[in-house]
Amino acid sequence: VVTTRTSDTFVDLTDRSRAANASESDIFVSIHINASGSSAAQGIETYYYQPFAEYPSRINAAYHANPTRLSMSDTLANAIQSSLINATGAQNQGVKRRTFAVLRETTAPAVLLELGFLSNPQEAARLTTSAYQETLANAIVAGIKRYYSVYN
């Protein structure tokens, strides 16, 4: 496991990808807590990269160099999302494809997890408990194990 930061300080997105790439990791999992303008927003969602044809080829270069990476990221995203929802009972916001820099610039199969909404008082309370954090961590590990059962 390689962490790109150990405190609540901003690390440049490109630097996060560079650190992941330098480590030659098999996968990249970016863990976040969401927020919304609405206190009613809730649930867990997982993202993986969506290469767009209209983007310059340099942006999609990593995906063209390893065409199976997209399907591997899809498998990883779905395995972790399913595990998180099963373990927590949280609202399933689904697996989505986006052009986030950390997903685009990381050479390994990559996902970004949003584990709940701090703007939702009930979710915020749950997210701050050690027991729920352990449930989330164990679910992420279970999803990663499921991914490796497909690709190893």
What gap in Å lies between CA 145 and CA 152, rounded to an integer? Answer: 10
Residue 6 lies in a domain: no
Reported confidence tier of residue 42, pLDDT bands at 50, 70, 90: very high
Whether pLDDT at 59 is above 70: no
Whether pLDDT at 20 is above 90: no
Residue 5 lies in a domain: no
| Owning domain of residue 38 | 13-151
Residue 109 lies in a domain: yes
Among residues 38, 27, 147, which one has the least CA distance to residue 84? 147
Residue 65 lies in a domain: yes
Among residues 37, 52, 62, 56, which one has the least CA distance to residue 118? 37
Residue 94 lies in a domain: yes
Residue 126 lies in a domain: yes
Average pLDDT over residues 39-52: 92
Q: In 50-130, which ranges are E strands? A: 92-98, 110-117
Among residues 103, 13, 105, which one has the least CA distance to residue 50? 103
How many domains are there within the chain? 1
pLDDT of residue 65: 58
pLDDT of residue 64: 57
How large is the C-alpha radius of gyration of the chain?
15
Residue 135 lies in a domain: yes
Residue 93 lies in a domain: yes
pLDDT of residue 86: 99
Model confidence pLDDT, tens digit, residues 64-115: 556 688 899 999 999 999 999 999 999 999 999 998 989 988 889 999 999 9
pLDDT of residue 7: 82
Query: Residue 78 is part of a domain; what is its CATH number?
Result: 3.40.630.40
Reported confidence tier of residue 56, pLDDT bands at 50, 70, 90: low
Model confidence pLDDT, tens digit, residues 120-147: 999 999 999 999 999 999 999 999 999 9
User: Token pair of 129, please?
Assistant: 């408990």
Average pLDDT over residues 30-45: 97
pTM here is 0.89
For residue 48, the surrounding DSSP H or E stretch is strand 44-49
User: Which has more pLDDT, 139 or 55?
Assistant: 139
Q: Residue 98's CB: how many other CB atoms inside 10 A?
A: 11
What gap in Å lies between CA 102 and CA 81, rounded to an integer? Answer: 18
